[in-house]
Amino acid sequence: MTLIELYKNAYHQLHTQTPLRTDCGRLCNRACCQENDEDLGMYLFPGEAELLLAADFLRIEPTDLQYLPGKNVYFASCNSQCRRSQRPLACRIFPLTPYMTAKGLLTTIIDPRARFVCPLAREYQRSDFHPEFVRAVQKVGQLLIKHQETQAFLLWLAAVIDEYRELPFSTK
């Protein structure tokens, strides 16, 4: 399966799924889906930048970060009103994320980095989320670990999350 096929499958899995049965954007005035001056955004999964070139509401830029030698991580941020059908994978699964443990086990967690922008990440437990959404994110995680590049990205992302959890302001 190519990366493009993988993402199309993942997008399809998440097409109608949302964290809550209601519009969670009402809790925070859609904080994660608006243009901002704070450099809020999402890391793109490997190869996803090419898939999102037509998403003119996104600013997509390479970072100096690498998930594999010579493979830079891309960062996307909104520069106008989000088109839900063209959202990056990280936006579709937010505030959850697949997480690879040190033993290589895949789980789904609330991304601790989301706590600054998302009331769900601060005030809810994973069990409070719509079960179909959680299952869809878990299925997407299972898709991601089957491809060498996305598996490497998940390992890199777990290290980023682990480093974040060690910061003094993190609530772990």
pLDDT tens for residues 147-165? 999 999 999 999 999 998 8
| φ/ψ (deg, to 5) at 31 | -55, -35
Higher pLDDT among residues 40 and 80, named by residue: 40
pLDDT at 33: 65
The predicted pLDDT at position 85 comes to 86
Between these two residues, 31 and 8, which has the higher pLDDT value?
8
Residue 171 lies in a domain: no
When pLDDT is averaged across residues 42-68 and rounded to a whole number, the result is 94
Mean pLDDT over each residue of the chain, to the nearest integer: 89
- Full-model pTM: 0.90
Are 40 and 117 in contact, with CB atoms under 8 Å apart?
yes
In this predicted structure, the answer to whether residue 18 has a pLDDT above a threshold of 60 is yes
80: containing domain: 3-165
Task: Provide the H-helix boundaries in the chain.
Answer: 3-14, 25-28, 48-51, 89-93, 119-123, 131-144, 148-165
Residue 37 confidence (pLDDT): 57
Residue 83 has pLDDT above 90, yes or no: no
Looking at the domain assignment, is residue 161 inside a domain? yes
The reply to whether 170 falls in a domain is no
Residue in this structure with the two tokens 């097409």, named with its chain if needed: 15
Number of domains in the chain: 1
Kindly report, residue by residue over 55-64, the tens digit of the pLDDT: 998 999 999 9
